[in-house]
A = this chain, B = another copy of it.
Amino acid sequence: MHIRTARPEDAPAIWSIIEPVIRAGETYTLDRDMIETDALAYWLGPDKETFIAEEDGTILGTYYMRPNQAGGGSHVCNCGFMTGADATGRGVARRMCEHALAHARSRGYKGMQFNFVVSTNERAVHLWQKLGFEIVGRLPLVFHHPVHGYVDALVMFQAL
C-alpha cells in the first residue's frame, strides 16, 4: 500500500470512495444528498492537502489535512479519512492515519484534532485511541444518525 498526494485525475476514484460514505450519512456531518461537484470541491478544497492510499493501481482510501482553525489555532491540524467499501478490514485507515501523523509533524503542526467522531463509529474511535488519540470532549446528542437516532459525538486529540 502506497500513500501519495491526490492528483486531479484521481477525482473519479475519490468520488467512488466518498459517495457511499456521504450517502450513508452515518459518520460525517455532510449533506447526504451532496452532489459530486460539491463533494469533490470540499474533499479536494484549496484549504486542504488531500492524499490517497493505493495498491496495485487501485485507490483504497483517501484523507485530507487542513489547519483546524485560523489565527491562533492554526498550529493544530484536522483530518478526515474515508476507506473504500471494498477495502475495509485491511488496515487502510490505520496506514492513512499513521501517514497523517508523520506528515503533520513534518509540517510543524503541534497537534491533531478530530472535531466530530460519531460515537457509534466504534471501529474508528478504537483505532484512533490505539493510534494515540484521547477523547477530550463528548458532545451530547449532536448527531442524528439515520439508524440510531440522536447520538453523541466525540472530540479526539493528540499532541504532536
Query: Which residue numbers of A lie inside 8 Å of B, CB to CB?
Result: 25, 28-32, 68-76, 110-111, 113, 115-116, 118, 136-146, 150, 153, 155, 157, 159
- A157 x B140 contact (CB < 8 A): yes
- B136 x A157 contact (CB < 8 A): no
Copies of this chain, tallied across the complex: 2
Assembled-state Cα–Cα distance A150/B157 (Å): 15
Q: Sorted from nearest, which 4 A-B pairs have the closest CB atoms?
A: A137-B137, A29-B69, A29-B73, A72-B144
B residues in contact with A143, CB < 8 Å = 72-73
- B29 x A146 contact (CB < 8 A): no
Min CB distance, A34 to chain B, in Å? 8
- B146 x A140 contact (CB < 8 A): no
- Contacts A144-B75, A153-B73 hold; do A113 and B139 have CB atoms under 8 A apart? yes
Contact partner of A155 (CB less than 8 A), chosen from B75, B76, B111, B155, is B155
- B115 x A115 contact (CB < 8 A): yes
B residues in contact with A29, CB < 8 Å = 69-74
Min CB distance, A135 to chain B, in Å? 9
Assembled-state Cα–Cα distance A139/B138 (Å): 12
- B32 x A110 contact (CB < 8 A): no
- A142 x B111 contact (CB < 8 A): yes
- Contacts A140-B136, A141-B110 hold; do A116 and B157 have CB atoms under 8 A apart? no
